[in-house]
Amino acid sequence: MTLMYFAWLKQKIGMGEEELTPHDNVVTVADLIDWLCSRGDNFATAFEDRDVIRVAINQEFAELDDPIAGAAEIAFFPPVTGGQT
């Protein structure tokens, strides 16, 4: 699957995109984040406050307990703000 990191996540992790095959026991978004954090301090730092990170699976917003089976693309990004009222 393709993992994509945007904004300050990209800066903290040190890359914008990578191709990975998670372990078989990684079944939800939360499991994926746990597994990523085990890969190094850069990931652990980037994902230390999960409440502010948004996730999209195959370009659809997702929650931490959503399954990742069959995902071709998972994107992680900070909350989107901006625009004028």
pLDDT (tens digit per residue) in 21-36: 999 999 999 999 999 9
Whole-number pLDDT of residue 79: 82
| Residue position matching structure tokens 């890969």 | 39
User: Using one digit for the tens of pLDDT, what is the confidence trace for 1-28?
Assistant: 999 999 999 999 999 999 999 999 999 9
User: Using one digit for the tens of pLDDT, what is the confidence trace for 49-69?
Assistant: 998 999 999 999 999 999 999
Q: Residue 85: pLDDT above 70?
A: no
Q: Which ranges in the chain belong to alpha helices (H)? A: 7-13, 29-37, 41-46
Whole-number pLDDT of residue 82: 54
The SS3 of residue 45 is: helix
Q: For the chain, which domains are there?
A: 2-77 (3.10.20.30)
Q: What is the DSSP letter of 72?
A: S
CB-based contacts of 2, cutoff 8 Å, min separation 6:
17, 18, 19, 72, 73, 74
